[in-house]
Amino acid sequence: MSSSQPPSGAPEVARGAALPDPAFIASLRFNAAGLLPAVAQDWLDGAVLMVAWMNREAIERSLASGEVHYWSRSRQELWHKGATSGHTQRLRGLRYDCDADVVLLTVEQAGEVACHTGARSCFYDAGPLPSGGGAEAAAPPADVCSELARLIEHRRDHPEPGSYTNKLFEGGANRILKKIGEEGAEFVMACKDNHPEEIAAEAADLIFHLQVALAHQGVSWRQVLAVLAQRRGAPRRE
Within-domain flag for 138: no
User: Looking at 98, 132, 166, which one is the last position of a domain?
Assistant: 132
Look up the CATH number of the domain holding residue 184: 1.10.287.1080
Number of domain units in the chain: 2
Helix-, strand-, coil-residue percentages of the chain, each rounded to 5: 40, 15, 45
Measured between alpha carbons, how far is 161 from 208 in angstroms, rounded to an integer? 19
Listed residues 132, 161, 177: the one ending a domain: 132
Specify whether 70 is located in the same domain as 5: yes
| 42 DSSP β-pair partners | 107
- Helix, strand or coil, per DSSP, at residue 17: coil
Backbone angles phi, psi at 226, to 5 degrees: -65, -40
Q: What does the pLDDT look like over 123-165, one tens digit per residue?
A: 999 989 899 999 999 999 999 999 999 999 999 999 999 999 9
Pairing of strands 69-72, 36-42: unpaired
pLDDT tens per residue across span 59-75: 999 999 999 999 999 99
Neighbours of 149 (CB within 10 A): 25
The three-state secondary structure class of 48 is strand
pLDDT tens track for 99-108: 999 999 999 9
67 and 178 housed in the same domain:
no
pTM, full prediction: 0.83
With a pLDDT cut of 70, the percent of the chain lying above it is 90
- Note whether 95 and 155 are same-domain residues: no
Q: Do residues 115 and 148 share a domain?
A: no
Q: Are residues 111 and 11 in the same domain?
A: yes
**Within-domain flag for 139:** no
Coil, strand, or helix at residue 178?
A: helix
Domain coverage including residue 155: 144-231
Contact indicator for 46, 106 with CB cutoff of 8 Å? no
Query: Within this chain, do residues 58 and 148 fall inside the same structural domain, yes or no?
Result: no
Q: Could you say which of 92, 108, 132 is where a domain stops?
A: 132
Amino acid 215 reads A
**52: phi then psi, degrees, rounded to nearest 5:** -145, -165
Same domain, 128 and 33: yes
